[in-house]
Amino acid sequence: MLTEESKALKLGQPVSWIGSRKHKGTILSVDWSGVEIDWHDGKCEYRHHTNMEDIWAEKGSSGCNRVVE
């Protein structure tokens, strides 16, 4: 996703890694520099807004225009 899309993410919003059905996560926090993602495999990751190109908002989520088909 684009930087502007990342900044618009909301707490609890579902995301995935490049649209993967296996690699899904949930937005835990959003701040001025990035987001924290709780991946469903048990890992947490902080990503800067400018480093979100391989993270996609899940279909039906709000805050981003890009959706997984």
List of residues 6+ apart from 42 with CB closer than 8 A: none
Stretch 2-8: mean pLDDT:
95
CA-nearest of 15, 6, 3, 12 to 56 is 15
**Topology of the domain covering 3-57:** SH3 type barrels. (2.30.30)
pLDDT at 13: 94
Domain locations along the chain: 3-57
pTM of the full structure: 0.81
pLDDT digits (tens, 9 = 90+) for 24-43: 999 999 999 999 999 999 99
